[in-house]
Chains A and B, each alone.
Chain A
Amino acid sequence: MNTSKDKLMDLAEAIERFVKPGSHLSIGGFTINRNPMAAVYEIIRQKIIGLHLYAHSNGQGVDELVGAGCVDKLEIAYAGSGRFAPTCIRFRKAVENGDIVVEDYSNYQMTLRFLAGAMGVPFLPTRSGLGTSIIDNWGFPSELRQTDPKIPNKKLVVQDNPFLAWGEATRLVLVPAINPDVTILHVQKADRQGTVRIEGLTFADVEQAKAAQHLIITCEELVGSDHLRSAPDQNQIPFFCVDAVVTVSYGAYPTACYRHYDYDPIYLNQYREAAKDDARYQNYLDTFVYGVVNHTMLMERIGRGRCDKITADPRTGYAVDLDRR
């Protein structure tokens, strides 16, 4: 909750102020779209570790945070980057090596958990998952659930419908609320106070935003309040949810930002090849993350030519006929 008028700051300051070692973090976007990648890279550069990360299906952002060793615990539904990496490679290695502990949910369960956090209720019910291993197999050690006050005592609970046959459900899965310490979203437009406009699919960003104690917005375009308030029905997040507004062009790169730019198939393919090998991955980090001081420098390294190739066509919102092999 922050009603101040001007929350504009630079990315390094926003990350330093709100993301701490061990923070419970959630990031917006979905697989290869609108992940807050500039913020992810800044977290990695600041070497913030021990994060407890919540995601439904954030492919690239999750994989880079895990790959750089920033994450200890992960609650997730899906770690994949579409056709570029059907299972995120550094995530897979980290789980198989026992470097992170994981708790699996489904996408809808994670969505409901953020929504419960946004609503201020301890859980929400669903029929999803009845009869599956998601109910039976718990990833977090039970002592963690007993001792850490920021983690609920149970992964989930199955209960008979207290309204009996009402709603055509006999049993329900109750999934616990998530209230992240901080959520980071990359969006198309925001003003200095933090009113947010997302174009295209919102995924679960709005629920993630409202559930969080602190909210960092990185935006493609900083616009005047008049612009957003003249069509307020197109805005999704009220300013008082927001703590920091950061202008970062190409802030979702190498993932897509609808109506601005597409995902970069060259980057994502190179990333996949690097991710397969520890030495090559270290080299990737040294070159593209630690080797630049900020996202602007990364984009300079990528070069104007490649940025032009992924520029969104105004008719479709993506780069038509982009070579995506």
Chain B
Amino acid sequence: MPAYTLREMMAIAAARQIQDGDIVFCGTGISMLAAMAAKHISAPSSVIFFETGAIDSLLEEVPMAVADPRVMYWTSVNGSLADAFAFMQNRHTGRRVVGIMGAAQIDRFGNLNSTVIGDYRNPRVRFSGSGGACDVASFVGRTIIFMQHEKRKFVKDLDYLTSPGWLQGAKQREKAGLARGGPATVITNMAVMGFDPSTREMVLEAVFPGVSPKKVLEHMQFEVDISQAREFSPPSDEELSILRDKCDPQRLILS
């Protein structure tokens, strides 16, 4: 019995990707926890902001939505949607922004679906839709993606492309007119995935303790390069205590 849960490991894996000085765009749930943890552990000068316009929220309590009044407390500025999305794309701040997001489906180039399963006009399953996800994925310097590692979620073909990843591969973002950015990391309940810098295809970077690369592949519809996979170093006691005691003491997200 490990001394930590998968969700805790996923949050820490994302927190380790955040660099000091990053401007971190957060969604709801585990992405907020990752950003909060990073600020306490390794990136004290990182800035957490939300698409709703809250800039550098203190987050004494974990918000339940990006419009939760908890994001409005002790900010630098409480702005608007127009402000928040402008910071993600203007030439001075845009490339410093890292976006953390999730989705219902992902393909091998890190494109995401959070809109429908089935036909768009007659869907089998309807999800929330883009919200700010498409905007973030279109604009910011890099994105970190949270996914559950399941065959129905790592798909050959998306039912709907809500948020652009590397589109159809190398140089396709530029061709489409998206100047910068693209997915950097995918964090799942089994592994950490990256993207090959030349082909932009997904590769297996690290597996969580007790998970084999083969098992990871069994949970995906497409093959990825597993030759460079190493074992992920588990969360330290310090990382865990910060995550549990400082970020989510009520265990609203972690449970």
Q: Closest residue of chain A to B134, judged by CB?
A: A106
Q: Closest residue of chain B to A161, judged by CB?
A: B177
CB distance from B173 to the nearest CB of A (A): 7
CB distance from A31 to the nearest CB of B (A): 4
A108 beta carbon closer than 8 Å to chain B: yes
Give residues of chain A (309-325) contacting chain B, Cβ–Cβ below 8 Å: 312, 316-318, 320-321, 324-325
Q: Closest residue of chain A to B28, judged by CB?
A: A82
- Residue in A84, A96, A131, A201 whose CB lies within 8 Å of B64: A84
CB distance from A236 to the nearest CB of B (A): 9
- Residue in B78, B82, B128 whose CB lies within 8 Å of A115: B82
A91 beta carbon closer than 8 Å to chain B: yes
* B135 and A201 contact, CB distance less than 8 A: no
User: Which residues of A are found within 8 Å of B67, using beta-carbon distances?
Assistant: 29-34, 57, 82, 201, 203
A77 beta carbon closer than 8 Å to chain B: yes
* A82 and B64 contact, CB distance less than 8 A: yes
B-contact bits for A133-149, CB 8 A (1 contact / 0 none): 11001010000000000
* A98 and B122 contact, CB distance less than 8 A: yes
Size of the chain B interface, CB-CB below 8 angstroms: 62
User: Which residues of B are found within 8 Å of A98, using beta-carbon distances?
Assistant: 122
| With known contacts A30-B67, A128-B138, A130-B178, A203–B160 Cβ distance under 8 A | no
A207 beta carbon closer than 8 Å to chain B: yes
B163 beta carbon closer than 8 Å to chain A: yes
B-contact bits for A35-64, CB 8 A (1 contact / 0 none): 000000000000000000000110100000
- Residue in A29, A133, A169, A318 whose CB lies within 8 Å of B162: A133
User: Which residues of B are found within 8 Å of A258, using beta-carbon distances?
Assistant: 69, 72
B44 beta carbon closer than 8 Å to chain A: no
User: Which residues of A are found within 8 Å of B122, using beta-carbon distances?
Assistant: 98
Q: Closest residue of chain B to A312, judged by CB?
A: B69
Q: Closest residue of chain B to A32, judged by CB?
A: B65
B80 beta carbon closer than 8 Å to chain A: yes
**Chain B interface, DSSP helix/strand/loop, else mixed:** loop
| Complex CA–CA separation, A52 to B68 (angstroms) | 27
| Complex CA–CA separation, A205 to B126 (angstroms) | 26
User: Which residues of A are found within 8 Å of B130, using beta-carbon distances?
Assistant: 77-78, 104-107, 134
* A201 and B52 contact, CB distance less than 8 A: yes
**Chain A interface, DSSP helix/strand/loop, else mixed:** loop
B-contact bits for A187-207, CB 8 A (1 contact / 0 none): 000000000000011111111
* A317 and B164 contact, CB distance less than 8 A: no
| With known contacts A87-B127, A130-B178, A33–B132 Cβ distance under 8 A | no
Q: Which of B52, B66, B85, B129 is the most central at the interface, judged by chain A CB atoms within 10 Å of its CB?
A: B129
CB distance from B140 to the nearest CB of A (A): 11
* A318 and B65 contact, CB distance less than 8 A: no
A-contact bits for B63-99, CB 8 A (1 contact / 0 none): 1111111111100001111100100010100000000
CB distance from A210 to the nearest CB of B (A): 12
Q: Closest residue of chain B to A33, judged by CB?
A: B67
| With known contacts A131-B172, A137-B160, A106–B73 Cβ distance under 8 A | no
* A201 and B131 contact, CB distance less than 8 A: no
* A96 and B124 contact, CB distance less than 8 A: yes
CB distance from B146 to the nearest CB of A (A): 13
A interface residues (Cβ-Cβ under 8 A, vs B): 29-34, 56-57, 59, 76-84, 86-88, 91-92, 95-96, 98, 104-109, 111-112, 115, 127-134, 137, 139, 168-172, 200-207, 256, 258-259, 262-263, 312, 316-318, 320-321, 324-325
Chosen A-B contacts, 12 in total, with CB atoms closer than 8 Å, are A31-B67, A59-B65, A80-B128, A80-B131, A83-B64, A106-B132, A106-B135, A128-B135, A130-B178, A201-B72, A205-B80, A263-B68
